[in-house]
Amino acid sequence: MSDPNRESEAESKARRGRNIALAVGLILFVILVFVVTIVRLGGNVVTKPL
Amino acid sequence: MSLVVFTALTGLVCADTPINPVLGAVAILCIAVGAGASGALNMWYDADIDAKMRRTRGRPVPAGRVQGADALALGIVLSLFSVMLMGMALNWLAAALLAFTIFFYAVIYTVWLKRSTAQNIVIGGLAGALPPVIGWAAATGTAPLNAWLLCAIIFMWTPPHFWALSLYTSEDYAKAGVPMMPVVRGAPSTRRQILVYALLFVPLCLAPAVTGLGGAAYFGVAAAGGAVFLLLAWRLFRSHAGEAQGQRTSDGLYDVRAGARDARNLFAFSILYLSLIFATLLGEHLLGAQPLHLLSR
């Protein structure tokens, strides 16, 4: 007998698609925050006296 | 969505404050994502009525392509990320305005107003009118009178725009139980109110030429287009649009029977007119055209 709680192949595929989309979204967000940080800091870090 | 991005970009450029192009792009991205988040929350909450209307039944949730819970989760996560990024990358005034806009659309309009009052799109229109203020605030950290003037123009544009549409889609709204103006007050009252809003809206569109926001090109476009807008609103007022059943000939928004043409014409022109005046403002500020300051001459 098949387990009723077990995901069908279509459900499993859809879940995998969502997870990949989420991972790509998070990576893009991290890159975006990094770029924004560099832009906002500008040359201030380099020119700051030690 | 495209109107939100376009008007936000106009607000950002009209501020005439130098902004790093990367940060400007991030501001527009945050506003676009915030608008998408509002849309997801709206589609989650309104799935029951969306399924009953021709214009909305193909949306992902009523069509069964996306689960309601997934739309809700996506809406909340995107809202939080867009507001947070706007605050960190630009400033917290722009972030607060973005958060307020999302809250106003998803909660005040969608949950509260839409199903309870015929003034739903009048008050709810504020959510669609705020993007230029957010754009302006993102560039400057302030929200001066001229930014709110852009907001007021979109706010006053919303009732004639949506009511013209609802005059020939009222069967759908009635079926879904949404108290749009033609359903609640009838077509003649709606046509009269459209004319009143048009009479208030067109002079407001000329105001940027007085406050130092718009130049000669803007004044010309706003005045000529405004005259056409008023003419179409007058024709609609004199017509019987909204009084016959089955005014549409297909699911498309522009395919209507003869009796509804005046409503369709105003609906279509309202989109063109708003796009034209914002595009002219955008062009003038990008090209550095001189504003008119009509009153101070």
Residues of A in contact with B23 (CB under 8 A): 36, 39-40
* Unique residue bearing structure tokens 């090109």: B217
pLDDT for A1: 55
The DSSP secondary-structure symbol of B63 reads T
What does the pLDDT look like over B122-143, one tens digit per residue? 999 999 999 999 999 999 999 9
In A9-48, the residues whose Cβ lies within 8 Å of chain B are 18, 29, 32-33, 35-36, 39-40
Residues of A in contact with B88 (CB under 8 A): 33, 36
DSSP states along B200-216: HHHHHHHGGGTTTS--H
- CB–CB contact A32 B20 (8 Å): no
* Unique residue bearing structure tokens 């209507």: B256
- CB–CB contact A29 B81 (8 Å): yes
- In this structure, how many other beta carbons lie within 10 angstroms of the beta carbon of residue B261? 17
The Cα B210–Cα B204 span in angstroms is 10
SS3 B49: helix
pLDDT for B125: 95
Contact B181, B163 (CB under 8 A): yes
DSSP states along B89-101: HT-HHHHHHHHHH
Query: Residues in chain B with pLDDT < 70?
Result: 245-254, 258, 295-297
SS3 B186: coil
Contact B61, B35 (CB under 8 A): no
pLDDT for B250: 64
pLDDT for B149: 97
- Which amino acid type is present at position B194? I
Burial class (CB in 10 A: 0-12, 13-18, 19+), B72: middle
What does the pLDDT look like over A9-50, one tens digit per residue? 888 888 899 899 989 999 999 999 999 999 998 867 666 666
- CB–CB contact B88 A35 (8 Å): no
- CB–CB contact A36 B81 (8 Å): no
- Which amino acid type is present at position B145? L
Dihedral of the alpha carbons of B282, B285, B289, B291, in degrees to the nearest 10: 90
SS3 B248: strand
- Residue B193: name the closest of B159, B165, B158 by CA: B159
Chain B touched by A50 (CB under 8 Å): no
Residues in CB range of B129: below 8 A, 6 or more apart: B151, B152, B153, B154, B155, B158
